Amino acid sequence: MKYKYVAIIPARGGSKGIPKKNIKLFLDKPLVQHSIDYAKESNFINQIVLTTDSEKIMQIGNKNDITVIKRPDNISDDKATTESAIEHVISTMNFSKNTIYILLQPTSPLRPENSLDEIINKFNNNQYDSMLTISPIHPLTWKISNKKPECMYDYLNRPRRQDFKNEDLIYDENGSVYIFKHNTFMKELNRLGGKIGIFIFSEEYGKQIDTPLDFDLLETIGKFIKGASDVK
């Protein structure tokens, strides 16, 4: 079966944490532009779809000559799920079962350059139904259960960071890239389902933007990454 690859970029106009977050300049261009540019790097992507309720974000999409869908108000508030936006895109565009979707969230603007085709190749070669990117976090973690702290490692034999093995690492869902088949989404109404694969991004690509502090921190990391790349 020959697949069609569709990148979906959900970008609401409203945001309580950071007003007009998706059009706020991040590394000298609107935040949402980073996901558009990432999709354009791919040799697989046949169509890029931007779903939004914001006229200004629509204008950005139109300038990039990509498909823009006006998202209804009832799935554009703070309680709306990304899955509801995906479902709206699929029904509006009437995509068929031979479609593979690549979800790119603007709140994860830092991604390894030219990595998308590598991710899609892994998805295809392993015949996954869905896939996500993850990043390692420090394994010395705790959780609180019934208001009581619970240690997730052996604190009586505290390991040194350099002694951690790959099997000791814990990974965080970084929100950068999700891939899923049409039939998988329609069955689960979720971006993940069936045979799930993972693709590991290094730690510097592991954070998402939820707060003003996140925004400033990721922009600093982005400048560092760009500087290191320029040195090469």
Residue 90 within a domain = yes
Q: Which stretches does DSSP call E strand in the chain?
A: 4-10, 25-26, 29-30, 47-52, 67-70, 99-104, 130-137, 142-145, 148-151, 170-181, 196-200
Look at residue 141 and tell me if it is in a domain. Answer: no
**Least confident range of 143-147, 195-199, 221-225, 226-230:** 226-230
The pLDDT value recorded for residue 228 is: 62
The verdict on residue 174 lying in a domain is yes
**pLDDT tens, residue by residue, 167-193:** 778 899 999 999 999 999 999 999 999
Q: Classify residue 152: in a domain, yes or no.
A: no
Q: Give the total number of structural domains in the chain.
A: 1
For residue 63, the enclosing domain spans 4-134+170-231
Beta bridge pairs of residue 134: 173, 200
Residue 153 lies in a domain: no
| 147 CB neighbour count, 10 Å cutoff | 5
pLDDT exceeds cutoff 60 at 232: no
CATH number at residue 74: 3.90.550.10
For residue 113, is it within any domain?
A: yes
In a domain, 218, yes or no: yes
Q: At 153, is the secondary structure helix, strand, or coil? A: coil
